Amino acid sequence: FATEVEPLVDQINQLADTREADLRAARDRAANLAHGLKTPLSALRAIARRVREAGQADMADGLEQSILAASDAVERELARARTAASLERGPTEPGPIIERLVSVLSRTERGERVEFEIDCPAGITLPVSADQLMEMAGPLMENAARYASTRVRVTARFRELVIEDDGPGLGTADREQVVLRGQRADERPGGHGLGLAIANDLAEATEGQLVLHTSALGGLRAQLIWRAPSASAG
């Protein structure tokens, strides 16, 4: 019986190896394409500036909106490719990752005026790799620092990470728009939308979920949740 099954097992293993190689190649192509688009987008931004300087503001506005949409799409695909390329799934303690992000953000123009509160007890883990957590928490914390009046709070619990601020927040319709469609709730570069959309994409890719609410601080509450596996799983 074993000798009859062995060829089938070998074929299944070969198919799995081929599938994994195909996925890696597809991810690499997507990442290379997205990186390749960055240079022409930078050139288009320079053209838009010259058009504006020439007094054609309406044309420059149209160019800049198109460039912004394309740039957002590139950044979103790059984040997806980076996360998909990571085969690790944790567990990861969020505390050190959050501390590192705060260290970086507190040196930025937006972050230096904000007080970061971290509540990530040792021993709490999340079912993602360190790189994946960085890709998800980074945009959410940057977004929170951008819109906060004075405070950003990061809390980790079992299979859950919450990032909230005391800024103006988002209405229900805007939350759905920026997460599901990746659109911006304001038109400024770096506005609400891209970071939330990226975090949502990556949460789904790691079998998690991004839920947006109004924070007790008054601003936006972004909650990353990973459900515990069911008892029947596996």
For the segment 109-121, what is each residue's pLDDT rounded down to a tens digit? 888 999 999 999 9
Spell out the per-residue pLDDT of the chain, length 234, in tens: 456 667 666 677 677 666 666 656 666 666 666 666 667 777 888 888 888 899 988 888 888 878 777 776 676 666 666 666 555 567 999 999 999 999 999 988 888 999 999 999 999 999 998 888 988 999 899 989 999 999 999 999 999 999 999 999 888 777 777 665 554 444 444 444 577 888 888 888 888 999 999 999 999 999 999 987 765 544
pTM above 0.75, yes or no: no
Domains along the chain with CATH numbers: 2-85 (1.10.287), 94-225 (3.30.565.10)
* Alpha-helix runs per DSSP H in the chain: 2-53, 57-85, 94-105, 130-147, 172-180, 194-205
Count of CB atoms situated within 10 Å of the CB of 15:
10
Question: What b/e sequence results for 137-157 when a residue is b if at least 16 CB atoms lie within 10 Å of its CB, and e otherwise?
Answer: bbbbbbbbbbbbeebbbbbbe
Q: At residue 126, what is the residue type? A: L
pLDDT tens per residue across span 6-15: 766 667 767 7
Q: Are strands 151-157 and 115-119 parallel, antiparallel or unpaired?
A: parallel
Question: What b/e sequence results for 210-226 when a residue is b if at least 16 CB atoms lie within 10 Å of its CB, and e otherwise?
Answer: bbbeebebbbbbbbbeb
pLDDT tens per residue across span 199-224: 888 888 888 999 999 999 999 999 99
Residue 214 tokens, joined = 């109004």
Beta bridge partners of 38: none
